Chain A
Amino acid sequence: GAVVSQHPSRVICKSGTSVKIECRSLDFQATTMFWYRQFPKQSLMLMATSNEGSKATYEQGVEKDKFLINHASLTLSTLTVTSAHPEDSSFYICSARGVVQGGQGDEQYFGPGTRLTVT
């Protein structure tokens, strides 16, 4: 149990285009989903917190108009990078928080990540 998927796993796009990344909790309901970004040789940094049916909460320094988050259901959140630029190239990882049978409590379960390259 507690599987989180991300799609796509890898995407290359041209500067100025938009890219959508999906995050799904496959076998549990996620009360909250999170989006992280990881630059090479850096740690993960929280970008935003996404709650089903409400607006996302963005961390300081993250442009909400550039990184659009939609949390349409308890199992799906999407991150859209709008007008992507080369500096947006990064590894984007989502996580989902929920109570899972056999789990220790309100854990976060991570997706496999999406490698975005903007040319």
Chain B
Amino acid sequence: KQEVTQIPAALSVPEGENLVLNCSFTDSAIYNLQWFRQDPGKGLTSLLLIQSSQREQTSGRLNASLDKSSGRSTLYIAASQPGDSATYLCAVWSGGGGADGLTFGKGTHLIIQP
């Protein structure tokens, strides 16, 4: 059974710093990996999707990498801003003929101090 772990569980840094969030998964046979952002009491916002054949994806100040063979992904946030404060979730899709849902990590709760 696929398991997704995110480290750290919580992180608080001053504004302007670059930071890295980590995600690992136990079964490397994935189709894709997604990073989401969740604000308190809200739904999910998809940030980046990396297909299993890709090594990284970039969107603005965000860069996500994927090392499928080692079961790891990182989300790099450059020049952090207070508005980046949220919970960041990593999720993998293991396929199953397209009928399986995503397996989520427990998230990293990020606070950017002004």
Binding site for B on A (CB under 8 A): 6, 31-32, 34, 36, 42-46, 49, 51, 57, 91, 93, 95, 97, 104-113, 115
Contact = CB atoms under 8 A, between A and B. Distances in A.
B59 to A, nearest CB: 11
Given A32-B99, A49-B99, A104 B44 contact: no
Contact of B44 (A31, A97, A110): A110
23 contacts: A32-B98, A36-B101, A36-B104, A43-B105, A44-B89, A44-B102, A44-B104, A45-B104, A46-B102, A49-B99, A49-B101, A51-B99, A97-B98, A104-B51, A105-B49, A105-B51, A106-B98, A107-B46, A107-B49, A108-B34, A108-B93, A110-B46, A113-B44
Given A43-B89, A43-B106, A95 B42 contact: no
Interface of B: 32, 34, 36, 41-44, 46, 49, 51, 89, 91, 93, 98-107
B32 A43 contact: no
The winner among A43, A93, A107 for most chain B CB atoms within 10 A is A43
B98 A42 contact: no
Nearest to A31: B98
